[in-house]
Amino acid sequence: MMDYDVDAIVIGGGPAGATTALLLARSGWRVALIEKKNFPRAKVCGEFISATSLPLMGELGIMDFYQKNAGPEVSRVGWFGAEKMLMAAMPSVDKSMSKWGRALGREHLDTALLQEAKQAGVLVWQPWTVRHLMDKETHFICTMAAKEETAVIKARVAVMAQGSWERPFIQRLDIMHKNSDLLAFKTHFRASELDSDLMTLISFPGGYGGLVHSDANRVTLSCCIRRDVLQKVRLQNPGLQAGDAVLNYIMLTCAGARQVLASAQRDESWLSVGPIRPGIRKCYENGIFYVGNIAGEAHPIIAEGISMAMQSGWLLASSLVKQPSLSRNDLASVGYEYTKKWRKQFANRIHAAAFFAQITTRPKGMAVLLPIVERFPGLLTLGANLSGKAKELLP
């Protein structure tokens, strides 16, 4: 049994957790981060990082890595639905280091962020699993384990950054499966016909997805599909694994996807996860802070997950370091301010994403909206603006 005493414990080593831990450590905090998986590891993720996050990436110390390894700049946004292939300009970010964002695989991004955190002095426990987090009112006691070892960490601040679909160690009621549940899939392709400067939404009855050029000359396909639609698709494609059945369905119902992927070769196995739980949850409760998807999650249709994760970590860290004392009353005050900032930064795009997801995955909605967007393609640029593609990160 090993015992440690720190200022903050961060549970989860993805972009939200690593960003929070790194920034706190740079401010002189003693920080422990617990991550249950070894890195590098792939994740179901669209991989796009908006230009609004580039100044933050510079502050985190990974900008050179990002510029060297990420895919090409995305200066156009598209929508492939039914027989239509619509495109418009991506909103630019003039005050950033670059006008447009790029995509980078999570196996690379997460590893780089965690390495920076280690160099900043964060005590990283990996792969370790949290068994219990006990609230002692003045501090938290975290018990964790790895193989035959156990350790206990005492911390004044606890930050949850597990992600929305990780199995929580803080128990909650089981959520029943529903036909409307969205299950997520992801893979990479090579030799596609997708224009290198284009990130496009693909929509199909009962689901949506996205295509974008990522690192190492790969194109990322990520998508979400309703549980009941997936069940029908699998019945129609006996013998195929779920990801390939979904791909067949997308190719059958979306001409744009069919065109750009017709000669492409899948580069790896499918990843899947779900159901996803979009919506606004909580940023603070009973002394515990929440960052990333566990605090609130937008439908992946807007491709803002990574940016929201890192930006929420920055919002929390910048709020915490302003508080010299960390009594429970102080933490509650920080939680209130952090929640306010979080909602100001992210609430509108979460609502916009929910609207886009509803209207673009229903045949009747697509039948009405596609001709309108075809006539006024600037609506795609407007939609990208509403999704946060040009919303600066403000204190």
In a domain, 112, yes or no: yes
Report field, pTM of the whole predicted structure over 0.85: yes
In a domain, 271, yes or no: no
- The structural domain count of the chain equals 1
Q: Tell me how crowded residue 233 is: count the other CB atoms within 10 A of its CB.
A: 22
In a domain, 60, yes or no: yes
In a domain, 145, yes or no: yes
In a domain, 364, yes or no: no
The CA-atom distances, in angstroms, between 33 and each of 9, 97, 343, 362 are 6, 29, 25, 42
Q: What whole-number percentage of the chain has pLDDT above 90?
A: 89
Q: Domain span at residue 64?
A: 2-70+98-172+277-347
Decide: 196 and 215 in contact? Cβ < 8 Å: no
Q: Is 224 left (phi over 0), alpha (psi -120 to 50) or beta?
A: beta
Return the CATH number at 122.
3.50.50.60
In a domain, 27, yes or no: yes
d(CA 381, CA 395): 26
222: burial class by Cβ within 10 Å (0-12, 13-18, 19+)? buried
Decide: 105 and 256 in contact? Cβ < 8 Å: no
In a domain, 30, yes or no: yes
In a domain, 45, yes or no: yes
> Mean pLDDT of residues grouped by 10 in the chain (395 residues)?
86 98 97 97 96 96 97 98 97 85 98 98 96 93 93 96 66 73 98 98 98 98 98 96 98 98 96 95 95 96 97 97 84 95 97 95 94 97 95 77
